């Protein structure tokens, strides 16, 4: 190790944070994974077949990446947006014409949202065709279904926020569809809109759902989801076909 390296890592502050030695041995490499909050999502050893692109198309990770982009851009958009009827639409126009890079910020948020819905759906299809919903992973499939519904609800609640004609009538249709549910429809519609028609209370409810409640639900469920993948022994791998090419990559 260089003198600078020794200076940086050979002191008490560094050792109080990084508990393992330089990862140049199997033991230290394993400790580096165990003792790091982010890395410990992975097992210390993985099979080559499990990390091949064609196994998962990285769709789960890409869905998580979209959510990260949405959170960062969403928080930045919150600096410019006020969820009230007289201001919401004007704030969107300000983002378009006044705020520097406002259009870029808004479009990054919008396109990541579209991408997340598509990617989560494709991830679900991938998991289905791999048969990875079967025991012991059935609980994770159920969490996945809730994640899918939460993703759709995030998209839907964000739709009202620009407070333009598209938003207003789009949400009118959605709320009326909810209202058509047998027995609980009218109450659900009332609860969602905070009244009988779309106005200030509906905008505030959609804002709180979109910016606080649904993202919080998603964060907790994604944490359980990824932890569960780890506890179920990593992603599902079909048994090796040893008759072909010596079994190929293990």
To ligand HEM, the closest distance from the beta carbon of 204 in angstroms equals 25
Which one, 68 or 78, has the nearer CB to ligand HEM? 68
For residues 95-133, b (16+ Cβ closer than 10 Å) or e, as one string?
beeebeebeebbebbeebbebbbebbeebbeebeebebb
In whole angstroms, the minimum distance from the beta carbon of 111 to ligand HEM comes to: 17
Q: Shortest gap between Cβ of 71 and ligand HEM (angstroms)?
A: 12
User: Please, what is the minimum distance in Å from the beta carbon of residue 137 to ligand HEM?
Assistant: 5
Cβ closer to ligand HEM: 56 or 157? 56
Residue 208 CB, nearest approach to ligand HEM (Å) = 20
User: Distance of CA 131 to CAs 127, 135, 146, Å?
Assistant: 6, 10, 19
Q: How far apart are CA 111 and CA 89, in angstroms?
A: 20
Q: Which is nearer to ligand HEM, 109 or 123 (CB)?
A: 123
We find the least distance from the C-beta atom of residue 221 to ligand HEM, in angstroms, to be 8
Residue corresponding to tokens 């579209």: 114
Q: Looking at beta carbons only, is 62 or 95 nearer to ligand HEM?
A: 62
Q: Cis before residue 136, ω within 30 degrees of 0?
A: yes
Q: 203: part of which helix (H) or strand (E)? A: helix 200-208
Nearer to ligand HEM, 20 or 228 (CB): 228
Classify the C-alpha dihedral 108-160-183-191 as positive or negative. Answer: positive
Residue 109 or 225: the one with the smaller Cβ distance to ligand HEM is 225
CB nearer ligand HEM, residue 20 or residue 110: 110
Among 145, 178, 172, 149, CA closest to 160? 172
- Residues in contact with ligand HEM by the rule CB under 6 A: 56, 59-61, 63-64, 67, 120, 123-124, 127, 130, 132-133, 137, 140-141, 144-145, 147-148, 151, 222, 225-226, 229, 235-236
For the bound state, the minimum distance from the C-beta of residue 172 to ligand HEM, rounded and expressed in Å, comes to 28
């Amino acid at each position: 190790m260089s003198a600078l390296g020794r200076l940086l890592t050979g002191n008490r502050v560094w050792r109080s944070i990084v508990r393992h030695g330089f990862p140049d041995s199997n033991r230290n490499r394993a400790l580096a994974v165990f003792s790091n909050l982010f890395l410990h999502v992975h097992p210390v050893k993985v099979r080559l077949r499990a990390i091949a692109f064609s196994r998962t198309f990285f769709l789960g990770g890409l869905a998580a990446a979209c959510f990260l982009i949405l959170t960062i851009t969403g928080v930045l958009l919150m600096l410019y947006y006020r969820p009230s009827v007289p201001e919401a639409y004007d704030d969107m126009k300000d983002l378009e014409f006044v705020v520097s890079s406002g259009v870029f910020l808004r479009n990054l948020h919008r396109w990541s949202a579209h991408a997340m819905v598509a990617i989560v759906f494709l991830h679900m299809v991938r998991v289905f065709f791999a048969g990875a919903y079967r025991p012991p992973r059935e609980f994770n499939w159920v969490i996945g279904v809730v994640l899918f519904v939460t993703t759709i609800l995030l998209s839907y609640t964000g739709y009202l926020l620009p407070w333009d004609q598209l938003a207003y009538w789009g949400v009118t249709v959605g709320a009326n569809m909810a209202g058509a549910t047998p027995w609980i429809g009218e109450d659900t519609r009332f609860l969602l809109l905070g009244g009988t028609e779309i106005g200030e209370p509906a905008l505030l409810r959609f804002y709180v759902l979109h910016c606080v409640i649904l993202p919080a639900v998603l964060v907790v469920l994604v944490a359980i989801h990824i932890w569960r993948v780890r506890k179920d022994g990593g992603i599902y791998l079909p048994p090796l076909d040893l008759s072909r090419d010596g079994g190929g990559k293990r």
